[in-house]
């Protein structure tokens, strides 16, 4: 025996066979791979590395529509070295462990439409894309954190996206506690300026943060829903006014989340129907707020959220989504409990499955932050020249 590695020989043979395709066809094939596979492919040989780092590949790969990633970030505010962050890529059906410095700090984190946000009293920072540089804005009018945040593009405007910041907690003075907790501000990156708008309706005051409220950007409006009380209102981002407050609670709903996905508004919530628990999805008519059921989580998946002592403790069950995906998990201990995902097929059918377990042991955290965000191949490879 010559002692050669058969797997290495097979790999070289595969690369050799791919060489006959020519660089253009090889680039086309590589550009269709999930992002984690692209990273692995860049280490296979010099030719593939050169192709993947070329401007033409970055342009081709960034044009392909990739599903948003689901992020779980654990914060230990006493020992930052124990912070950990993971992202789930539904295209490759795998978790990716992220560098600590990429996202985590002592601040509250959020994401919307490809932007990441870091907030704390008196400070607001953002960065475009996963590996962009953090940029601190001018001081917001009201000091707060744990706000609802959305990034949106002004129609027929070439200027950068604007950010709407709604509600929040942890203000630094009594006046801000009274007024700022309902404040609505819009940030314009082009002018580095904040605009104060009509405040969040008074009925949302008891739960004015991202802990008790959820939000959804949909067709020029920023929707706010109270997770437990089911109050809902929308803010018109062009005309700068709030709609009347209504109640959005399908029969039997215990709590619910509002999500913008696949060009529709979706309400996801836990229901008690004739004494049985169900996790339902409804499509919401944006004009009338009427709802129609579009999916139910299979009982075998819902049963995985039952604690080992057979007590039904769903108080920390959380739901979020983007694109064609809706994730359901336990915010209290997402590291130890399952994560389930519903994918909407092209025909509109709901396909439920359990997400693979996280890849390694996790630390103890004081807070877990979760969100969905688009990730471009340029976020990983950079956008520099050849």
Residue range 307-324, pLDDT digits in tens: 644 444 555 788 889 889
Q: Are 167 and 209 in contact (CB under 8 A)?
A: yes
Whether residue 277 has pLDDT greater than 80: yes
Residues of the chain above pLDDT 90, percent: 33
Whether residue 7 has pLDDT greater than 80: no
Whether residue 14 has pLDDT greater than 60: no
The mean pLDDT value of the chain amounts to 80
Least trusted range by pLDDT, from 25-29, 58-62, 82-86, 355-359: 58-62
Least trusted range by pLDDT, from 21-25, 158-162, 220-224, 329-333: 21-25
Whether residue 26 has pLDDT greater than 50: yes
pLDDT at 1: 44
Residues of the chain above pLDDT 70, percent: 76
Whether residue 102 has pLDDT greater than 70: no
Predicted confidence band of residue 334 (pLDDT cuts 50, 70, 90): low
- Distance CA(263)–CA(319), nearest Å, equals 18
pLDDT at 385: 44
The DSSP line for 336-381 is: TS--EEEEE-TTS-EEEEEPPPPSS-----SEEEEEEE---HHHHH
* H helix or E strand, kind and range, residue 127: strand 123-128
Work out the average pLDDT over 335-344.
Answer: 85
Domains annotated for the chain, with CATH where assigned, are: 6-61 (no CATH), 110-247 (2.120.10.80)
Whether residue 371 has pLDDT greater than 50: yes
Whether residue 177 has pLDDT greater than 60: no
Residues 6+ apart with CB under 8 A from 340: 297, 301, 304, 327, 328, 329, 352, 353, 354, 355
Least trusted range by pLDDT, from 15-24, 144-153, 233-242, 352-361: 15-24
Residues 6+ apart with CB under 8 A from 306: 312
Work out the average pLDDT over 239-250.
Answer: 96
| Span 125-153, pLDDT tens digits | 998 876 678 899 999 998 887 889 999 98
Sign of dihedral through CA atoms 364, 369, 372, 375? negative
Whether residue 156 has pLDDT greater than 60: yes
Residue 140 or residue 346, greater confidence = 140
- Distance CA(361)–CA(365), nearest Å, equals 12
Work out the average pLDDT over 245-265.
Answer: 92
Work out the average pLDDT over 205-218.
Answer: 79
Predicted confidence band of residue 110 (pLDDT cuts 50, 70, 90): confident
DSSP state of 85: E
pLDDT at 310: 42
SS3 78: coil
pLDDT at 256: 94
**Chain center to CA of 113:** 9
Q: Are 311 and 275 in contact (CB under 8 A)?
A: no
pLDDT at 12: 52
Residue 153 or residue 64, greater confidence = 153
Residue 177: closest CA among 138, 198, 205, 140: 205
């Amino acid at each position: 025996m010559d002692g050669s590695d058969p797997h290495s020989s097979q790999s070289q043979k595969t690369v050799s066979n791919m060489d006959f395709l020519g660089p253009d066809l090889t680039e086309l094939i590589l550009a269709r791979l999930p992002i984690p596979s692209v990273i692995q492919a860049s280490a296979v040989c010099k030719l593939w590395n050169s192709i993947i780092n070329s401007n033409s590949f970055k342009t081709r790969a960034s044009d392909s529509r990739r599903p948003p990633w689901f992020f779980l970030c654990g914060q230990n505010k006493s020992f930052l070295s124990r912070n950990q962050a993971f992202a789930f890529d539904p295209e490759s059906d795998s978790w990716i462990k992220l560098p600590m410095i990429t996202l985590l700090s002592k601040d509250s984190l959020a994401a919307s439409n490809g932007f990441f946000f870091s907030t704390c009293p008196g400070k607001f920072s953002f960065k475009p894309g996963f590996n962009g540089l953090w940029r601190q804005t001018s001081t917001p009018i009201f000091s707060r954190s744990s706000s609802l945040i959305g990034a949106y593009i002004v129609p027929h405007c070439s200027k950068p996206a604007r950010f709407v910041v709604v509600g929040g907690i942890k203000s630094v003075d009594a006046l801000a506690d009274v007024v700022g907790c309902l404040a609505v501000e819009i940030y314009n990156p082009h002018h580095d300026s904040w605009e104060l708008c009509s405040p969040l309706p008074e009925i949302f005051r008891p739960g004015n943060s991202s802990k008790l409220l959820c939000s959804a950007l949909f067709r020029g409006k920023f929707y706010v829903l109270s997770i437990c009380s089911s109050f809902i209102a929308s803010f018109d981002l062009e005309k700068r006014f709030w709609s009347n407050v209504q109640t959005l609670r399908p029969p039997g709903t215990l709590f619910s989340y509002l999500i913008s996905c696949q060009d529709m508004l979706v309400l996801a919530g836990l229901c008690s129907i004739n004494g049985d628990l169900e996790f339902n999805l409804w499509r919401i008519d944006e004009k009338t707020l009427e709802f129609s059921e579009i999916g139910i989580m299979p009982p075998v998946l819902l049963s995985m959220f039952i604690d080992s002592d057979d007590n039904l403790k769903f108080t920390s069950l959380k739901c979020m989504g983007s694109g064609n995906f809706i994730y359901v998990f336990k915010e209290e201990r997402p590291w130890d409990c399952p994560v389930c995902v519903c994918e909407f097929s092209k025909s509109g059918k709901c396909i439920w499955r359990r997400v693979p377990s996280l890849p390694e042991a996790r630390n103890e955290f004081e807070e877990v932050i979760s969100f969905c965000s688009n990730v471009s191949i340029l976020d990983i490879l950079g956008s520099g020249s050849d």
